[in-house]
Amino acid sequence: MNPPAALLPALRAIVGDAHVLTEGDLTGYELDWRKRERGKSLAVVRPTSTAQVAQVVQACAAAGVSIVPQGGNTGMVVGSTPDASGTQLVLSLTRMNAVRALDGGNLTITVEAGCVLQSLQEVCEKAGFLFPLSLASEGSCTIGGNLGTNAGGTQVVRYGNTRELCLGLEVVTAQGEVWSGLTGLRKDNTGYDLRHLFIGSEGTLGVITAATMKLYPLPKSQLTAFAAVPSLEAAVQLLGLAHQTLSAGLTGFEVMGQFALKLVVKHFPQQRVPFYESSPYCVVLENSDNESDEHARSQFERLLEAAMEAGCVSDAVVAESMAQARALWHIRESIPLAQAQEGLNIKHDISIAVSRIPEFVAKADAALAQAFPGIRLVNYGHLGDGNLHYNVQAPDGQDAEKFLREQEGPVNAVVYALVDAYNGSISAEHGIGSLKREKLEKHKSPVALGLMRSIKTALDPHNMFNPGRMLAARNH
Ligand code: FAD
Ligand code: 2HG
Ligand code: ZN
């Protein structure tokens, strides 16, 4: 095995001196977005081609150095930054951002892993197509990271998670080989579907270097409404009505609790947030229509009238222009940023059958309020997918760092016990990373964990990719 000392010159020879970073401010690569953990890398390496990635992996394998694949470093679970040992290499894919092909006839686009999601959306729109994945982090997250985490976002109710949007992958394996699976085929039952092993594997099985993704025709009309609802039960009832009335036109359905909206008003006072003062929850919903604006608007109005009659909407506004629609979505998308401004927080990215969410929240709210007086609940998320961000902010005036240090475990225990009782998931869309690794061990069945470890061992026998993330390093 080559000593790591010989590794850096080898890496410089592969990607060029300027793209092996060992000095200067590496915060953007070493500190996670939530500022939960600061790591220290052996180096940050920035390849520009699949061949370079393969050579970097081979060099690291020979030196026994582990690799943390990284895209935009917007992940929520401390999975894309190195640990504190100074021995792990950050492999940043952001220079690999080319669009390799757009096949309008096949409704597919093939793009390199480091392409920023928003750039991908823009390229597609310019060519007359929709790439529907949409997250508030889209200005900096990458398609490789989206695939690595199987990201969800705000259009899942209609288009599915990133997994559903992917038709093929190109991956560099732990042996430094390139698996070229960029077929663009919608049907291919030739054995195990390897693509699905790598999607959602959080950089623990291989480095995704490119992907072929599905495109959709651009809808003729996209309308957004913002509604006040008297309760979470009412929000679920509205969702049912929206499915019935809009059918496949329902492309977004997000819920926002009053305190979440108060944080937006507090930290972004320039934003105008309707209805929040008088309503426990608000909902933002979107109708995409392939006929016309008029058709979409009349459908939407029919829905909202029916909802008001049924008592599940108390007030509503439908955006009159794209600018207004963007402003309404911006309110929703600002919640994680407002929470970050408010201070360190505990996140619960949970999913539960939609029909059981109101009951779950009532129980969780009561249990937390009793056990942790003054606790502030920031409850919002992708209700259309049964996915809540049931987050927790320290009581007003308390030191957030101290609160997390002392109470994160007990708070999690209350929430996750209820999630288990409701047959839910402790990670709906953000993944496991290192923050939830121990929770995974507790909440996943031994059989499932055993199968996961077998897959890890088969694909990455020397535990080179993202060790200690998702699965404990010692167990495979
Ligand atoms: P990174 O953070 O760099 O990496 C994430 C994981 O993927 C790591 O484990 C990493 O090792 C792995 N990885 C990265 N690139 C590759 C690659 N090329 N090959 C293999 N593995 C790789 N997430 C949602 O699901 N829905 C949301 O609505 C959402 N909203 C967000 C809003 C904000 C404001 C922020 C800050 C984050 C949000 N996220 C959301 C979380 C985050 O943006 C997503 O997880 C996103 O998919 C991460 O992409 P990234 O490029 O930043 O990946
Ligand atoms: C969102 O939906 C993201 O806004 C972030 O998934 C969620 O900050 C969070 O908890
Ligand atoms: Zn989310």
Ligand nearest to the CA of 385: 3
Ligand nearest to the CA of 163: 1
Atom of ligand 2 nearest to the CA of 340: 8
- CATH class (in words) of the domain with range 221-421: alpha beta
Residue-range domain boundaries for the chain:
4-92, 99-217, 221-421
Find out whether 32 and 73 touch, Cβ atoms under 8 Å.
yes
Q: Residue ranges of the chain with pLDDT lower than 70?
A: 1-3, 474-476
Ligand nearest to the CA of 142: 1
Cα separation values, 394 from 310, 335, 344, 379, Å? 37, 16, 8, 14
Residue type, 378: V
Residue type, 444: K
- The CB of 336 under 6 Å from ligand 2? The reply is yes
- The CB of 354 under 6 Å from ligand 2? The reply is no
pLDDT score at 119: 98
Atom of ligand 1 nearest to the CA of 79: 9
Find out whether 57 and 14 touch, Cβ atoms under 8 Å.
no
- The CB of 391 under 6 Å from ligand 2? The reply is yes
- The CB of 72 under 6 Å from ligand 1? The reply is yes
CATH architecture of 4-92: 2-Layer Sandwich (3.30)
- The CB of 136 under 6 Å from ligand 2? The reply is yes
Mutate which of 382, 388, 430, 436 to test ligand 2's pocket (most atoms within 8 Å of Cβ)?
430
Ligand nearest to the CA of 339: 2
- The CB of 208 under 6 Å from ligand 1? The reply is yes
Q: What is the largest CA-CA distance in the chain?
A: 73
191 C-alpha vs ligand 3 centroid, how far in Å? Answer: 33
199 C-alpha vs ligand 2 centroid, how far in Å? Answer: 20
- The CB of 379 under 6 Å from ligand 2? The reply is no
- The CB of 113 under 6 Å from ligand 1? The reply is yes
280 C-alpha vs ligand 3 centroid, how far in Å? Answer: 20
pLDDT score at 473: 76
Fold of 99-217: 3.30.465
- The CB of 137 under 6 Å from ligand 1? The reply is yes
- The CB of 153 under 6 Å from ligand 1? The reply is yes
Backbone angles phi, psi at 353, to 5 degrees: -50, 130
- The CB of 203 under 6 Å from ligand 1? The reply is yes
Ligand nearest to the CA of 152: 1
Query: pLDDT digit string (tens) for 255-287?
Result: 999 999 999 999 999 999 999 999 999 999 999
Atom of ligand 2 nearest to the CA of 152: 6
Mutate which of 135, 254, 342, 435 to test ligand 2's pocket (most atoms within 8 Å of Cβ)?
135
Helices 50-63 and 4-15 sit at what angle, rounded to 10 degrees? Answer: 170
pLDDT score at 47: 98
pLDDT score at 3: 58
On whether the pTM is more than 0.95, the answer is yes
- The CB of 117 under 6 Å from ligand 1? The reply is no
- The CB of 337 under 6 Å from ligand 2? The reply is no
Closest CA to 434 of 19, 98, 77, 158: 77
The dihedral built from the CA positions of residue 332, 334, 336 and 339, taken in this order, carries a sign that is negative
82 C-alpha vs ligand 1 centroid, how far in Å? Answer: 15
Cβ neighbours of residue 252 under 8 Å, at least 6 residues apart? 154, 155, 157, 158, 224, 284, 285, 286, 384
- The CB of 148 under 6 Å from ligand 1? The reply is yes
Closest CA to 60 of 144, 172, 146: 172
260 C-alpha vs ligand 1 centroid, how far in Å? Answer: 22
Closest CA to 331 of 429, 233, 224: 224
pLDDT score at 354: 98
pLDDT score at 475: 41
Mutate which of 349, 376, 377 to test ligand 2's pocket (most atoms within 8 Å of Cβ)?
349
- The CB of 142 under 6 Å from ligand 1? The reply is yes
Nearest CA to ligand 2 atom 5: 336
pLDDT score at 474: 60
pLDDT score at 93: 98
